Amino acid sequence: MKVEQIYTGCLAQGAYYIVSNGEAAIIDPLREIQPYLDRLAKDGVKLKYIFETHFHADFVSGHVDLSRKTGAPIVYGPNAACEFECISAQDGQIFELGQVKIKVLHTPGHTMESTTFLLIDENGKDHAIFSGDTLFLGDVGRPDLAQKAASMTQEQLAGLLYVSLYAKIMPLADDVIVYPAHGAGSACGKNMMKETVDTLGNQKKVNYALNQPNKEAFIAAVTEGLLPPPAYFGANVAMNKKGYASVEDVIHRGTTALTPAEFEAVAESAGALILDTRDSAEFWKGFVPQSINIGLKGDFAPWVGAMIVDVQQPILLVTEPGVEEEAVIRLSRVGFDNVLGYLKGGFEAWKQEGREVDTVNRIPAAKFAQEVKIGESMVVDIRKESEYQAEHVEEAYNKPLAYINEWIKDINPSEHFFLHCAGGYRSMIAASILQSRGYRNFTEVEGGFKAIAETGLPKTDYVCQSKMMKI
């Protein structure tokens, strides 16, 4: 028996590859399936099952394409109403894989179809659980994402999650390995550990949700402090439930090379959003006007999902040469399939033709320290609330990037402000969005709070509620 975790850092997502005696199963596969096909061919094994722990909200799974290519059936737990051919398994049902078995443990709460798959080894011993979004390391799945579909409140779903965990998971042996669907950085939980594998025994000790005295306390603990989910979550659930276009077709269309003239014509005719995936250190010096900068070398896909509300939005790409396909694939992982092509030759080709360019007013942290007047200048810190609360520039306002579409309307276009995040990645996203909507009354700080902290400017952990965004 072989169990391999295939972890994708930018999504904080874990897929799993299990092999026993010439047969394989894949749990929660990513959208692009070629790496799985290559692995199956290399190992000389047949894919027998594709298991899905639930209808994922934060990424589009590769289950439909993988089933098309291999003929392997897609297996969900109970209550899964797929709009394609799938097995909606019964609680307790056993699936044989070579010399091992996979048992279905229906664990609703995160969603109604949420299921944990228990791997039983060749000797009949419980070996591991693939817990999906039911149990994370240090946390449990948020119970607020399926409220509308389930016609239940988040408190009712949390109650179901409590029963699932305490009746189905907690009785398992301490040495059972826990393989979750996500780790730290995912929006599917609020308190996940950085580790991606653990024993159930250790989770029983350290996981706050597994140490509540009763059901009422559990419900209160897991529903406290939940932030609104990213806008693209609903669309991803629908794609996972209904099916989607072949990723091969998405990649083929998205990697269409366009000359600057063709690029400009498509942008105008299709109403396409120009997404520049270069590093912020390059973007600010020059870019195609109206471009939005979300760097590929970062949490690219989640930020695209958070910033671009409509997954059907036509998109044109500006990238560093050679990474066009990677950008298209990473967009497809979160359901953004409508990429119409990329700028051939990148921004340099645009500039060499003498076309109009734009820039961002960026200054080093040292210059910011010289120019800012604490208590007089407006400083907008777009880090998460928890980062801001830990330490921030005195008198700074906290306006998290995730909610820019809400706070942007409150900006006074005649009042200057300084803009920063932790290191420059998020603040350049904000800067590009602001400029695309006509706001130019700001200065972005290079290096963010990390660089600011080294300047000697006064910092504090005191939180003035009037300076924080009310979410």
Distances 462 to 166, 389, 390 between C-alpha atoms, Å: 39, 7, 9
Give residue-wise pLDDT tens across range 36-90. Answer: 999 999 999 999 999 999 999 999 999 999 999 999 999 999 999 999 999 999 9
Do 81 and 241 contact (CB within 8 A), yes or no?
yes
Residue 197 in tokens: 């594998």
Give me the pLDDT at residue 463, please: 86
Question: Residue 126 pLDDT more than 70?
Answer: yes
Give me the pLDDT at residue 186, please: 87
Give me the pLDDT at residue 349, please: 97
Beta strand 362-363 with 339-343 is unpaired
CB neighbours of residue 364 within 10 Å: 13
Give me the pLDDT at residue 28, please: 98
Mean pLDDT of the chain: 95
Do 318 and 291 contact (CB within 8 A), yes or no?
yes
Per-residue pLDDT band for 185 (boundaries 50, 70, 90) equals confident
Give residue-wise pLDDT tens across range 277-308. Answer: 999 999 999 999 999 999 999 889 989 999 99
Give me the pLDDT at residue 470, please: 61
Question: Residue 469 pLDDT more than 80?
Answer: no
Give me the pLDDT at residue 142, please: 94
Do 37 and 47 contact (CB within 8 A), yes or no?
no
Do 142 and 168 contact (CB within 8 A), yes or no?
no
- Residue 378 is inside which H or E element, if any? strand 378-381
Per-residue pLDDT band for 467 (boundaries 50, 70, 90) equals confident
Per-residue pLDDT band for 166 (boundaries 50, 70, 90) equals very high
Range 119-146 average pLDDT: 96
Question: Residue 174 pLDDT more than 60?
Answer: yes
Give me the pLDDT at residue 308, please: 92
Q: How far apart are CA 337 and CA 332, in angstroms?
A: 5
Q: Output DSSP code: residue 241.
A: H
Give me the pLDDT at residue 314, please: 98
Q: CA gyration radius for the chain?
A: 24
Question: Residue 321 pLDDT more than 70?
Answer: yes
Hey, CA dihedral for 176, 7, 211, 159, is it positive or negative? negative
Give residue-wise pLDDT tens across range 47-57. Answer: 999 999 999 99
Per-residue pLDDT band for 341 (boundaries 50, 70, 90) equals very high
Range 304-322 average pLDDT: 95
Residues paired with residue 362 on neighbouring β-strands, in sequence order: 444
Give me the pLDDT at residue 236, please: 95
Per-residue pLDDT band for 207 (boundaries 50, 70, 90) equals very high
Question: Residue 148 pLDDT more than 80?
Answer: no
Beta strand 273-276 with 292-293 is parallel
Q: Among residues of the chain, what percentage have pLDDT more than 70?
A: 100
Domains of the chain in sequence order:
2-235 (3.60.15.10), 245-352 (3.40.250.10), 362-467 (3.40.250.10)
Give me the pLDDT at residue 118, please: 98
> Which region holds residue 79: left if phi is over 0, alpha if psi is between -120 and 50, else beta?
left
Q: Among residues of the chain, what percentage have pLDDT more than 90?
A: 90
Question: Residue 1 pLDDT more than 80?
Answer: yes
Q: How far apart are CA 102 and CA 407, in angstroms?
A: 48
Give me the pLDDT at residue 231, please: 84
Give me the pLDDT at residue 230, please: 85
Distances 455 to 30, 146, 203, 382, 398 between C-alpha atoms, Å: 43, 46, 41, 19, 20
Do 467 and 396 contact (CB within 8 A), yes or no?
yes
Range 99-109 average pLDDT: 98
Q: What type of residue is 368?
A: F
- Closest-CA residue to 168 (of 147, 140, 144, 198): 140
